[in-house]
């Protein structure tokens, strides 16, 4: 009976660990997407600044429009950076959980091996019962 309980707990630990690994991979892909967006936005902002520096002949309204767009891009950049940092912290937390589950699984495996009956043990019990 104890062996059955240990097997269930180990199976649950393995399932939890796999779920966490999948979540970690999903978040890593999400980080890569965010980094690509950030890179694109930084290039776009630099290009707009370069154009604005080269074209001082823009009207006041056009200059304000470009300035507003640049400020919006900078705000988006900050949001993306904070999002990347948040996701990285979530990944660290998930990795910690995974390590804890792995340690628990290791303990369960040792306990399981301690209570597991070998074929020799079963034969001995049967010989005692039959004789």
Tens digit of each residue's pLDDT (9 = 90 or more) over 63-104 = 788 778 888 989 999 999 999 999 999 999 999 999 999 999
pTM over 0.85: no
Asked if residues 38 and 80 have their Cβ atoms less than 8 Å apart, the reply is yes
- Band of residue 120 on the pLDDT scale cut at 50, 70, 90: confident
What number of other Cβ atoms are within 10 A of residue 102's Cβ? Answer: 14
16: containing domain: 2-130
pLDDT band at 1 (very low <50, low <70, confident <90, very high): low
Q: Using one digit for the tens of pLDDT, what is the confidence trace for 8-42? A: 999 999 999 999 999 999 999 999 999 999 999 99
**Domain count across the chain:** 1
The CATH number linked to 19 is 1.10.287
Separation of first and last alpha carbons in the chain: 25
Total Cβ atoms within 10 A of residue 91: 18
């Amino acid at each position: 009976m104890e062996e059955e309980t240990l097997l269930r707990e180990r199976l649950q630990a393995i399932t939890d660990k796999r779920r966490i690994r999948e979540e970690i991979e999903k978040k890593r892909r999400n980080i890569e997407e965010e980094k690509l967006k950030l890179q694109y936005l930084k290039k776009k902002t630099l290009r707009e600044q370069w154009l604005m520096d080269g074209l001082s002949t823009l009207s006041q309204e056009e200059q304000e429009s470009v300035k507003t767009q640049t400020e919006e891009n900078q705000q988006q950049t900050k949001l993306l950076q904070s999002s990347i940092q948040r996701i990285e912290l979530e990944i660290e937390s998930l990795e910690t959980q995974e390590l804890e589950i792995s340690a628990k699984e290791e303990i369960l495996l040792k306990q399981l091996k301690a209570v597991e009956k070998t074929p020799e043990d079963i034969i001995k019990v049967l010989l005692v019962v039959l004789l």
